[in-house]
Structure 1
Amino acid sequence: MISYSRSIIQRLQMDVMGVIIFLSGCSGSSVHGPNTVEAFIGEMFTVTCYYDTYYTNYEKYWCKGENWKNCMILIETTGSEEEIHKGRYSIKDNHTSHSFSINVYTPQKTDSGFFWCGINKYMWDKMTKIEINLSALPSTVKISATTFTTLPTTTATLTASVRYSPLTSHSSAFGRGQSQGSRLNLMYFLLLLSLKFPVIILVLAATAA
């Protein structure tokens, strides 16, 4: 009777252990990633999750949903290191670093919320929960610089010289022209005087006679 009771207790203990192991299959102990990811709408971001060596050749996936029971798989691997593309998502497994990365291209507001990195396992998947927070890109302020050009002093001096030199030239030419005109007038006066002087003498002589 005692031996029969012990066998029942042992079987119950084994069943309890089996249930514990069974339930622990959905825990995130074998796969882990960041708790939260901060990103911007329209700007690509990457999420990387790590797993135990045992699950190297298992299929990995990225799914959306607050509850692991009904999360929707968006993209998954084939168990190899081949990079998979689907819509705005890509996923790649790295067997050397025991990690897989998910790229989200041109993320939208709907890409915010709770997501899961998961390993496709018989009956119970290995999963870890990640919260994605997306915000609008900060506005950028463009400041245009105004360039001021200062002319050198020598350039200003040369410009002034060129500007005023024609006036000086005109003044000199005017002075020279005025001097030449005076000389011509004097010569003309002397010529007239030399022509009229004999006539005046003859007139005076006739009057005296």
Structure 2
Amino acid sequence: MRMALRILCLYFVQAGVLTAPIHVSGTEGGRVELTCPYPDQHIYTPKYFCRESCIMWSDVLITSEKAGDGVTKGRYFALDTTSARTFCVIIKNLQLGDAGVYYCGLNQWGSDTKTKVVLTVSKAPTPVSPLSTTSPPTHLQDTTNSILPPTGSVIGLLHIGVILGLLLCGVLALIWVEFVHKPASLPLPFTTTPIL
């Protein structure tokens, strides 16, 4: 019984049922990049990217043709990078209707191995309309932020100041040791002259 259960689990893993799903998200009008890893033994296996049920070949959106060569089809770009063992897909010009379930598949004899990809697409933020030039401003603008540099740059300047101060101290210490606190010259070593 245990052996049958192990064989059944192995079949489900090979069929891609138990692979962990990949979650990606993007914004309407933007792009999203997803990367599907695959095992070493599938370096030369053709890869594909499909939507929803992925039962029919018509569900396939893009396929890899040759490892290392990128393929573009409409809004989709696919690249099989064998050195990293990844199949990368980029979807450009995202639409709200793109949200859903996709699969990265390994085209094998028998049952394909698939990695589930869940794509979430959020609505693009609505642009803020510019203020009309004919109406006077209804509020005062805080200009303190425009005078002071951002906090990160102040901290960065502080770090640079500390480093420069330490370097200056080090240089002054070297000068002091070299010129001010230089030990007296030692006498020449004793030499004997032969007596004739």
CA distance change for structure 1 residues 21 and 79 in 2, over 3 Å: closer, same or farther? Answer: farther
Partner in structure 2 of residue 49 of structure 1: 36
8 A contact 2:21–2:118 mirrored in 1: no
Shift of 1:32: 5.7
Larger Rg: 1
Question: Does residue 1:134 correspond to 2:145, yes or no?
Answer: no
Distance 2:95 2:113 in 1: 27
Alignment of 1:184-199 (within 5 A): none
For structure 2, the residue ranges without an aligned partner over 5 or more in a row are: 132-136, 138-196
Shift of 1:24: 3.7
- SS state at 1:107 partner: coil
CA RMSD of aligned residues (A): 3.0
Distance 1:32 1:81 in 2: 25
For structure 1, the residue ranges without an aligned partner over 5 or more in a row are: 1-11, 147-209
Identity of aligned residues (%): 22
Paired residues, what number?
132
Structure 2 length normalisation: TM-score?
0.57
Partner in structure 2 of residue 92 of structure 1: 79
Q: Residues 155-199 of structure 1, C-alpha deviation per residue, up to 9 Å, x if partnerless? A: xxxxxxxxxxxxxxxxxxxxxxxxxxxxxxxxxxxxxxxxxxxxx
Partner in structure 1 of residue 16 of structure 2: 27
Partner in structure 1 of residue 97 of structure 2: 110
Q: Which amino acid aligns with 1:43?
A: G
Shift of 1:110: 2.2
- SS state at 1:115 partner: strand
Q: Residues 127-153 of structure 1, C-alpha deviation per residue, up to 9 Å, x if partnerless? A: 111111111112344777x9xxxxxxx
More helix by share: 1
Match of 1:82 among 65, 69, 72: 69
- SS state at 1:25 partner: helix
